[in-house]
Amino acid sequence: MFPSLLPTYNRADVAFVRGEGSYLFAEDGQRYLDFGAGIAVNAFGHAHPRLVAALTEQAGKLWHTSNLYRVPGQEALAKRLVEVTFADTAFFTNSGVEACELAFKMARRYQHVSGHPERFRIITFEGAFHGRTLAGIAAGGQAKYLEGFGPKVDGFDQVPPGDLKAAEAAITPQTAAILVEPIQGEGGVRVLPAEFLRGLRKLCDERGLLLIFDEIQTGVGRTGKLFAYEWLGITPDIMPIAKGIGGGYPLGACLATAEAAKGMTPGTHGSTYGGNPLGMAVGNAVLDLVLAPDFLPHVEAIGNYLRQQLAGLLAEHPMVFEEVRGQGLLLGLKLRVPNTDFVAAARKQGLLIVGAGDNVVRLVPPLVIEEAQVREAMAMLSAAAKSLAASGKKTEAA
């Protein structure tokens, strides 16, 4: 019989019933240390009292009114996001891919109203991930996500990441924008060189293109800055965000400069649920927490500590680990054993981590972890590595 739940995921056989801070509790009472955070979403862990209060308080007042009316929470959150970023304006969505979709539409529309209706193509990079709608998989360009879904949505041209010459060569009279993740998360925590990203900025300026940074995974404190572009000394024109901004509530946004957004006049875009009062209550509370003094320095410091510990782990298990990558609390371990095996072995030890492309596992814990959780995770990672090395020896002997 066909599963009543559409079987598009290879799910682990564990169901969680409760969360507290950086820990999750399964049906059988087993406790797990969560270094996956719902795939880099639960920036403040599980059941953070401030976020619970924000959501439940709003839930008792008003859930949804639609965007036919003013939504005060949207006005407040947009104003705050504008104050702390390069952006002049924000549109709220329910997910990352919707924020990306608006970024694509906005870039095309910008060129359209700038006297270049012929410019609609967007240059993207191999290994990218921009979500799973038809435009999202075309932008990401990964064969495994495109296969069997008919002709790829037109308008996305892919080049190797890190190759400025290739990006320049891909520009045609039809190019509207360049789209890049400052760190490719899904693709394997691949940090793109600052020089390369600055080069893209320059290229866009010279050629009248918009620069779109997909900060859905890197944003909202994940790298130790509010947004990863702050490390680079440049700003994008358009920036889809999601994941961390909702802390687990489905929320995204597309931020942009006034210039980039100038084509988005009434009627050009919309969403029934986007920016509903529940999401806005949580988003504003998340921003309170992430903007608190000392919070981002904490992320940077604990990220450096974790990274240092991971370097030690690597030295201890050179047959299992190849490399440590990433920044802040967006860290990856490139493995010499299949990453799916390692994720399962870590889970057996009580640690949740997430696979990524390029045979990498991602360590993307809640941003609120402390050194005690890092030490706990290190012990479990080490035990998982030992268990795999031991089973590897057994297969060799057999």
Ligand X SMILES: *Cc1c(COP(=O)(O)O)cnc(C)c1O
Residues belonging to the active site: 129, 214, 243
> Taking the complex as a whole, how short is the minimal distance between the CB of residue 213 and ligand X, in angstroms?
10
Distance from C-alpha of 107 to C-alpha of 103, rounded to nearest angstrom = 6
Does position 100 interact with ligand X (CB under 6 A)? The reply is yes
Distance from C-alpha of 282 to C-alpha of 155, rounded to nearest angstrom = 35
Q: What is the DSSP string of 143-165?
A: HHHHTTSSSPPSSEEEE-TT-HH
Nearer to ligand X, 183 or 335 (CB): 183
Q: How many residues bind to ligand X according to rule CB under 6 A?
A: 15
Does position 93 interact with ligand X (CB under 6 A)? The reply is no
Distances (CA, A) of 208 to 120, 123, 267: 13, 14, 26
> Taking the complex as a whole, how short is the minimal distance between the CB of residue 247 and ligand X, in angstroms?
13
Nearer to ligand X, 225 or 317 (CB): 225
Does position 142 interact with ligand X (CB under 6 A)? The reply is no
Which segment (123-131, 300-308, 365-373, 379-387) binds ligand X by CB under 6 A? 123-131
Q: What is the enclosing helix (H) or strand (E) of 182?
A: none
Nearer to ligand X, 278 or 384 (CB): 278
Does position 216 interact with ligand X (CB under 6 A)? The reply is yes
Task: Fill in the DSSP letter of residue 309.
Answer: H
Q: What is the enclosing helix (H) or strand (E) of 33?
A: strand 31-34
**Closest alpha carbon to 201 in 214, 183, 213:** 213
Residues 270 to 299: which contact ligand X by CB under 6 A? none
Does position 124 interact with ligand X (CB under 6 A)? The reply is no
Token digits for 151?
Answer: 């002709």
Residues 171 to 210: which contact ligand X by CB under 6 A? 181, 185-186
Mind spelling out the 3-state secondary structure of 316-361?
HCCCCEEEEEEECCEEEEEECCCHHHHHHHHHHHCEECEEECCCEE
Distance from C-alpha of 79 to C-alpha of 89, rounded to nearest angstrom = 8
Does position 131 interact with ligand X (CB under 6 A)? The reply is yes
Binding residue for ligand X, selected from 23, 44, 120, 129, defined by CB under 6 A:
129
Nearer to ligand X, 50 or 132 (CB): 132
Which segment (10-18, 128-136, 163-171, 265-273) binds ligand X by CB under 6 A? 128-136
Does position 217 interact with ligand X (CB under 6 A)? The reply is yes
Which segment (4-12, 92-100, 340-348, 359-367) binds ligand X by CB under 6 A? 92-100
> Taking the complex as a whole, how short is the minimal distance between the CB of residue 303 and ligand X, in angstroms?
18
Does position 242 interact with ligand X (CB under 6 A)? The reply is yes
Token digits for 327?
Answer: 């920044």
Nearer to ligand X, 96 or 283 (CB): 96
Nearer to ligand X, 109 or 222 (CB): 222
Does position 97 interact with ligand X (CB under 6 A)? The reply is yes
Does position 43 interact with ligand X (CB under 6 A)? The reply is no
Which residue has tokens 């797990």?
32
Does position 222 interact with ligand X (CB under 6 A)? The reply is no
> Taking the complex as a whole, how short is the minimal distance between the CB of residue 271 and ligand X, in angstroms?
13
Which segment (84-92, 165-173, 213-221, 337-345) binds ligand X by CB under 6 A? 213-221
What does the chain come to in residues? 398
Binding residue for ligand X, selected from 108, 130, 201, 325, defined by CB under 6 A:
130
Burial class (CB in 10 A: 0-12, 13-18, 19+), 119: buried
Helix spans in 43-180 (H): 49-59, 72-84, 96-113, 134-140, 143-146, 164-170
Q: Provide the sign of the torsion angle of the four alpha carbons 194, 195, 200, 204, taken in this order.
A: positive
- Give the number of other Cβ atoms within 10 Å of residue 100's Cβ: 28
Residues at the contact surface with ligand X, assessed by CB under 6 A: 95-97, 100, 129-131, 181, 185-186, 214, 216-217, 242-243
